[in-house]
Structure formats: structure tokens, C-alpha cells
Amino acid sequence: MPPRQRPSRVCRLSSTRASCSEASYARVFRYTLPGKDNRHIMLLMGNNRGTRRIYLAWSRDGRTWETRRSPLVDPPPSTGQIAQAWYFPWRGRHYLIYHGHLTHSFQTANLYTSEIDPAFERPKLLGLFYDHTTAGPDNVAQMSPCFLEAEGKIYIHVHQHRAPAQPEDRLGRGRYQ
């Protein structure tokens, strides 16, 4: 029996991202793009000349990634930075849900949604998905959306951040039907 090998913890992104000084908040989903030989997609935040946008990468093995040179999603109007996109296929359509920081208050963030075609080429902004005050008037941010399905129901988990007078964070939960 051959010796057991330790898996590599290194992920390699191609260097085709234009003018990005930072890449983070990556999330990986199993999805095959039409016309590509991939098994996974990665949605990540890239800092392009001071503006954080959503970028797309794809991989066959989950270790070596090819990136799309141009941003997949730009910040919606009234926002200056976006990050932490979640791929949400629902009823035969494809959506991206992500948080956007408001331009007049970087601390304030809402969740936004865009519909995307199956090839991840043409995002269409649908608008505000979840306002930061939904959880209460002292909540200044809804971030890091995550969707789970259990017993036929879809749940959204978000990171909520309260105003500085109450600095503790909490995990918010809601049901999307």
C-alpha cells in the first residue's frame, strides 16, 4: 500500500487579475461553467484601484484556479465596496448575494442581489436584498450571507453588527421562502 500523502493547503490563482492589490473573502461552490472544463467556481473580492469588487475564478481540481480578468460584479449605486458573494441557484435561475458598504458610511452594509446568466458573463443588478435595519434600528451591517436548506426550507444566515454603543456582534437567522 502506498504511503499516505498530506494534502496541499496551497491554492494557486492565475495572475490574470488586472490591477488587484488584494484578494480575499473567497467562497467556493460546485458549479460547472458552460464550455469550461471545471468542477468548481470561486467568488472572491478583489481590490481594484481602491474599489472592492467581486471576481470569478474556476478550477477543475480545487487547487489551481484560472481567474477572469475583469470584475464580475461592480458595486451597486450608493455603495463603494462589495464583498463575500454567495452563489444561490434557485428555481432554475442563478443569483449572487453579497454585502455592499454604503458610500456615505463605510461601517454601514446591506445585502444586495444580482441575477447572473449560467455562463457567469452578464450580471444584472436586482437591487437591495436585505436592509441593515431589518434586524433592528441599532443594527448597522448585514454581511457574509450564507444560505442553507433543511427539510425543504431555505434559511439565510448573516453576520449582523450593532452600532458602536453596543459593539457585540451576533449571528442573524431568517427564513427565505
Residue 15 pLDDT > 80, yes or no?
no
CATH number at residue 105: 2.115.10.20
Q: What is the pLDDT at residue 130?
A: 92
Domain contains 2: no
Count: domains in the chain:
1
pLDDT tens digit sequence for 108-166:
999 999 999 999 999 999 999 999 998 888 888 889 999 999 999 999 888 888 766 54
Domain contains 7: no
Question: ∠99-39-44 over CA atoms, to 5°?
Answer: 25
* Residue, of 21 and 94, whose pLDDT is higher: 94
Q: Count the neighbouring beta carbons within 10 Å of the beta carbon of residue 124.
A: 10
**What per-residue string of b and e applies to 52-81 under the rule 16 or more CB within 10 Å gives b?**
bbbbbbbbeeeeebbbbeebbbbbbeebeb
Q: Is the distance from CB of 38 to CB of 59 less than 8 angstroms?
A: yes
pLDDT tens digit sequence for 76-106:
999 999 999 999 999 999 999 999 999 998 8
Q: Count the neighbouring beta carbons within 10 Å of the beta carbon of residue 173.
A: 12
Domain contains 5: no
The domain in which residue 167 lies consists of: 12-176
